[in-house]
């Protein structure tokens, strides 16, 4: 049994398959602007950098740009709609609950570090009955910085009661690999999330294709004496 670690998770595309509700909210905004909807398949990889960036990417797909004031209005519209429809179709990825149960039983801490707004993150996890599993849930507005700035990772670990030197990042995109590298901790990439660059190309320390494989991947990293060292 290893000493307790802090497992820090990205949210969208890592813990929860939120794409259906996020893209529905995006298409709500686009429809109000008189634009056609973005197909679900192509829009999945637009997710991961926050609401504003998602809207920007949706507009880019239609060859449109807007003024900063219009973007502010559209972002507010998106957040209002999404907050009211945040867990219509969103679900935890298969195998997640068993993995979290195992980590908790072994005494490890669990935390969420996301570029989603904190209150939206908590609302989503509340509605999915997941919030109680995490010692800290931190978003883009919690500390005033976003991933890949390492401050958000370090402060999330501290809020969870852990230590950075005994922590692991789990995520699906470049911001997750980036924040881990800058914080000097290992990172597990999940291949089923949302990213315009294949996660394997970003060379996470471990790569999994299903949440059932997460405990083994995490435990293999916990035995490494030099956290953050490239292992593959």
Model confidence over 56-95: pLDDT tens digits?
A: 988 988 888 889 999 999 999 999 999 999 999 999 999 9
* Cis status, amide bond into 63, omega within 30 of 0: no
Q: How far is CA 53 from the centre of its chain?
A: 14
pLDDT at 12 over 90: yes
pLDDT at 225 over 80: no
Confidence category of residue 229, pLDDT binned at 50, 70, 90: very low
Cα separation of 125 and 15, whole Å?
A: 10
Residue 44: predicted pLDDT: 85
| Mean pLDDT, range 92-112, rounded to an integer | 98
12 belongs to an annotated ligand binding site: yes
**Domains and their CATH numbers in the chain:** 6-17+91-223 (3.40.50.1000), 19-85 (1.10.150.240)
| Mean pLDDT, range 218-225, rounded to an integer | 86
Q: What are phi and psi of 17, to 5 degrees?
A: -80, 90
Confidence category of residue 232, pLDDT binned at 50, 70, 90: very low
Of 228, 225, 211, nearest to 168 (Cα)? 228
Q: Going by C-beta distance under 8 Å and a sequence separation of 6 or more, which residues neighbour residue 9?
A: 15, 110, 111, 112, 113, 170, 171
The whole-chain average pLDDT of the chain stands at 92
User: Annotated active-site positions, please?
Assistant: 10
pLDDT at 149 over 50: yes
């Amino acid at each position: 049994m290893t000493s307790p670690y802090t497992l820090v998770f990205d949210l969208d595309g890592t813990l929860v398959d939120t794409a259906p509700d996020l893209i529905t909210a995006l298409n709500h905004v686009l429809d109000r602007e008189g634009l056609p909807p973005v197909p679900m398949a192509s829009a999945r990889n637009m997710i991961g950098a926050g609401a504003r960036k998602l809207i920007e990417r949706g507009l880019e797909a239609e060859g449109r740009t807007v003024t900063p004031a219009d973007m502010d209005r559209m972002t507010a519209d998106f957040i209002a709609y999404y907050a009211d429809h945040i867990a219509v179709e969103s679900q935890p990825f298969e195998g997640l609950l068993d993995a979290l149960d195992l980590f908790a039983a072994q005494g490890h801490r669990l935390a969420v570090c996301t570029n989603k707004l904190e209150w939206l993150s908590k609302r989503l996890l509340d509605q999915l009955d997941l919030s109680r599993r995490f010692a800290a849930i931190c978003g883009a507005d919690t500390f005033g910085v976003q991933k890949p700035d390492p401050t958000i990772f370090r402060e999330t670990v501290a809020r969870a009661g852990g230590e950075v030197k005994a922590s692991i990042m789990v995520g699906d995109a470049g911001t997750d690999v980036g924040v881990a590298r800058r914080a000097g901790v290992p990172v597990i990439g999940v291949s089923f999330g949302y990213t315009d660059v294949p996660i394997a190309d970003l060379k996470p320390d471990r790569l999994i294709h299903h949440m059932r494989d997460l405990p083994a991947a995490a435990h293999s990293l916990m035995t490494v004496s030099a956290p953050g060292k490239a292992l593959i």
